[in-house]
Chain A
Amino acid sequence: MIQSVDRAIRILLALQDEGVLGVSDLASRLGLAKGTVHGLLQTLAAHSLVEQDPTSGKYMLGPALLVMGNVYLNSHDLRVRSLRWVASLGESTGLAVRLGVLVWPDVVIIHHVGPAEVAVPVSEVGLSMPAHATALGKALLAFHPERRRLVSEHSLSRLTGKTVTDPKALEKQLDEIVTSGVAFEDQEAVVGEASVAGAIFDRSGQVAGAVALVVPADESGIDPSFVAAVRDTARGISRELGAAVWPGGE
């Protein structure tokens, strides 16, 4: 690992986590001399990856990151090919749809369509959600080649009374997902919200992403027609990406 690059990235991550930090804050967080941090910040600022607040002198993330993020979104093959599928799933169900990729221990949302009944939905693109508590995350994790290591190396945090925090219980659910291709979550991340997700495979047969339908939780569970719609969507996107097979067959 190149030390200076690693340090610069850790500065960016600290600013992502905290918003605004001064040189001393960063130096103590990273265990570095103030002079070192200052030099790294100057370099990052020269590329607009960070910017300095003129009044407080503190630093925050810079606009060049948005440009990079936008390039990421628009060149992401799975996302670009999924757009019309996601739109159509949202229209036919009236529910919110999320498209995500695994950045363990989180899922990062790369596309989102809000529920039809909310006039001005809040975009979830770029949000991270804990993978173990979301259907998206479970679908992605189930087919991950190193899933046992991932599950074992991270404690599963409790987000609601229903979050699955026992690794064995999660593994059992993941086994079922491998067979069916479809993952479920019932109020495990947020009270009142359930979701069903389908894994998306690329031409190499690897899981490349997942698509989820966000369903208001109620006692009767998720409507089977929603599950079928998610399965069709995930299978359709996978086929478009060149995947030869999808779990559970036809």
Chain B
Amino acid sequence: MGRLAQSIEANCDELTRLDAAIGDADHGINMLRGMKAAMEALSSTPPKDPADVFRVAGNRLVAVVGGAAGPLYGSAFRAVADALAASQKVSVPRLAQALRAGVNAIQRLGAAEPGDKTMVDAWIPAVTALEAAGTDSVRGAAAAAAKAAQEGMVATIPMRARKGRASYLGWRSEGHQDPGATSTHLLFAALVDATH
């Protein structure tokens, strides 16, 4: 979570720039605010297991982040926490199952399908890669997921948005990378860093 917070901070302006093109120019600042709040909460009450990390972060994201990002990432993290339950050590299949629960929560809220030009376009390939990784090393599986998320993110560029604010723009959303898919790539890239 710390890695994600750092990464969001480093990429805050980029996320806002992407969002200014097809959204409402607040994704970077919203994510930064949310991750700062999550890190404060995690440092004041150290988490007792991996699920706790996601639960605390998810609760803070829902509470402090405006726009779509707070409810979407917040609900996803809470669902991940529920799926991880009290396990102290997380295996690849367990992680895959938990992150699948995360993206399911996102789809319940947003009703987005692959190809709609949303964060789902990065989440689903990443989770699918984790599921395909079987019982490999967590680090290797995370790297495969991050790569899939990145490919999914890049694949949003030519898409015409069908969900979210960008859908108001119709064809004008084409040629722009989706900000939510971009922050999702940062999430899976942070997972790789966290598995050192």
Contact = CB atoms under 8 A, between A and B. Distances in A.
A159 B163 contact: yes
Contacts of A190: 68, 164-165
Interface in B143-194: 163-165, 167-172, 174
B111 A163 contact: yes
B171 A17 contact: yes
Contact of A122 (B23, B67, B68, B109): B23
A121 B165 CA distance: 14
Contacts of A216: 66-67
Contacts of A17: 170-171
Interface residues of A, number: 26
A192 B72 contact: yes
A82 interface: no
A161 B68 CA distance: 13
Interface of A: 17-19, 114, 117-118, 120-122, 124, 127-129, 158-163, 187, 190-193, 216-217
A200 B147 CA distance: 51
- Interface SS of chain B: helix, strand, loop or mixed? helix
A216 to B, nearest CB: 4
A121 B19 CA distance: 11
Contacts of A118: 24-26
Contacts of B25: 118, 120-122
B20 interface: yes
Interface in B56-115: 66-72, 107-111
A109 B174 CA distance: 22
Contacts of A120: 20, 25
Contact of A192 (B66, B107, B174): B66
B133 to A, nearest CB: 29
A19 B109 contact: no
Contacts of A160: 109-111, 163
A159 B111 contact: yes
Given A18-B171, A118-B26, A192 B111 contact: no
B168 A192 contact: no
With a 10 A CB-CB cut-off, give which of B25, B67, B168 has the most chain A CB atoms: B168
A193 B72 CA distance: 12
A126 to B, nearest CB: 10
A162 B69 CA distance: 16
19 contacts: A19-B172, A121-B24, A122-B23, A124-B168, A127-B169, A158-B111, A159-B163, A160-B110, A161-B111, A162-B109, A187-B71, A190-B68, A191-B109, A191-B110, A191-B164, A192-B68, A192-B69, A193-B68, A216-B66
B171 A19 contact: yes
A122 B164 contact: no
Contacts of A159: 111, 163, 167
A36 B163 CA distance: 36
A242 B20 CA distance: 39
B66 A191 contact: no
Nearest to B70: A192
A118 B174 CA distance: 24
Given A17-B170, A17-B171, A217 B111 contact: no
A187 B109 CA distance: 9
A97 to B, nearest CB: 14
B41 to A, nearest CB: 17
Nearest to A19: B171
Contacts of A191: 68, 71-72, 109-110, 164
A192 B71 contact: yes
Enumerate the 3 nearest inter-chain pairs by beta-carbon distance, A residue then B residue, closest first: A192-B68, A191-B68, A216-B66
A132 to B, nearest CB: 14
B71 A161 contact: no
B27 to A, nearest CB: 11
Contacts of B172: 19
B143 to A, nearest CB: 30
A192 B66 CA distance: 7
A28 B71 CA distance: 43
